Amino acid sequence: MSGKYLLDTNALIYAFNRKLKLPKAEYAVSVITRMELLSWPQLSQEDERQLRSALLATTVLQLSSSIQESAIKVRRATPLKLPDSIISATAIDGGYVLVTDDEKLTIHHIGEVISLEKLVKA
């Protein structure tokens, strides 16, 4: 594994809810993950505060032209929806190992993938 990990939305939610401590490494999230996390209608003010704090300590990768073009290719070639296509493309473009527990994303992502559980046990 590269030591560089892109956290999918579900992995971040599971880690947050379980109060898991991730191993020391370089972590990033897609701007899509940031938007998905912070736009959840039932998000409490305290959870939002904690998520925003966690996101400040994590690199948030924006939608560069390269990521956009890769996401278009992923979306056209797989059954992934656009948000997952963008997350997959972001991991590929940046050379990140994708951390996800989403089975569909795991199957269709062409780069390296690891589950949250395996990452925490590593």
- pTM of this prediction? 0.93
pLDDT at 71: 97
Chain mean pLDDT for the chain: 94
pLDDT tens-place string over residues 48-69: 999 999 899 899 999 999 999 9
Q: Which domains does the chain have, with CATH numbers?
A: 4-121 (3.40.50.1010)
Read off the pLDDT band of 86 (50, 70, 90). Answer: very high
pLDDT at 122: 76
Please enumerate, as own/partner, the contacts of 16-24 that have beta carbons within 8 Å and a separation of 24 or more.
16/47, 16/50, 16/51, 16/54, 20/116, 20/120, 21/120, 22/119, 22/120, 23/119, 23/120, 23/122
